Structure 1
């Protein structure tokens, strides 16, 4: 049973920010000063399962590290927008490219750069540790912090609502 107050049978696509959503808010820096992101294994499983079940999955991040791109491409995600200075522009490019309507999209963001996109999608979601301004406009605030399984929480609820969580695609990589 879903705890998200939205008709989850409408959802056809998921869009994620990285820092503070798919990766923890606090990140170590390499000796060269490059941010090193975390990746939650259960999020990865859920992201891959969404791809295998033919959902649209996209990443829109202000970051620009090759490791992020490699990680999410390895899960089958092809729509990865890096160095996104104005996320709303990449969001609009994605929906024009795919034909999804705002009502069919979940966007998970945690901070001010995510605000404009979250105002346009049908189901804006925030991790438990999101900025207050983001929590104010979220239709669902996950009990899970960013980088700790928030993607799994949301994808699981959508796939359960659509009868795709424990389907044949679930049992393999």
Structure 2
């Protein structure tokens, strides 16, 4: 019998996120010089940092490549950042082999076709509310939030609450 979404939360040790459409709202602001700017959610950042501080692994796999995104993620303490990934499945396999991670212990959040094949390999494929229909169809959980609007925070918070780790962030033990 297949585990329910809520039961799967207990098994998660690793979060993997796409950038555009997950950590951002899919918009790209283009400056006069051609620089592409993205907007990221502060609460998503707080949750990723909280996950890292609680012992979870956090990895980013994205086809996009933006130095500002890399700097933002590094400032949160994320070291496994794979930008300009031409093949997300290959990057994923290298990552889990490097750290000896079981695919069933991974929550992956993606939003569009480039995430499809890697999402089929993880224990808990998830997506933002505004993901493409193909991604929604294979997701075991669809956030109530859109990409870039707190979807990442929502799934991290749920995992940490189920595993009894979220309370550390509001009871003063992490000031």
Shorter-chain TM-score: which interval? over 0.9
1:43 and 2:49 correspond: no
Alignment of 1:15-164 (within 5 A): 15-164=16-165
C-alpha change, 1:121 and 1:170, in structure 2 (3 Å) is farther
Distance 1:86 1:170 in 2: 42
Residue 26 of structure 1 deviates from its aligned partner by 1.7
Distance 1:170 1:155 in 2: 18
In the alignment, structure 1 segments of 5+ residues that lack a partner are none
Contact 1:53/1:169 (<8 A) preserved: no
Residue 170 of structure 1 deviates from its aligned partner by 7.3
In the alignment, structure 2 segments of 5+ residues that lack a partner are none
Residue 6 of structure 1 deviates from its aligned partner by 3.7
Q: Any runs of at least 4 consecutive aligned residues in structure 1 with deviations exceeding 4 A, and if so which?
A: 168-173
Distance 1:169 1:92 in 2: 35
Q: Tell me the TM-score normalised to structure 2 length.
A: 0.93
DSSP-derived class of the 1:120 partner: coil
Q: Tell me the TM-score normalised to structure 1 length.
A: 0.94
Contact 2:8/2:124 (<8 A) preserved: no
Residue 169 of structure 1 deviates from its aligned partner by 8.7
Residue 115 of structure 1 deviates from its aligned partner by 0.4
C-alpha change, 1:67 and 1:7, in structure 2 (3 Å) is same
Give aligned pairs, total.
Answer: 171
Distance 1:82 1:170 in 2: 35
Task: Name 1:7's counterpart in structure 2.
Answer: 8
DSSP-derived class of the 2:44 partner: helix
Distance 1:141 1:126 in 2: 5
Distance 1:13 1:169 in 2: 22
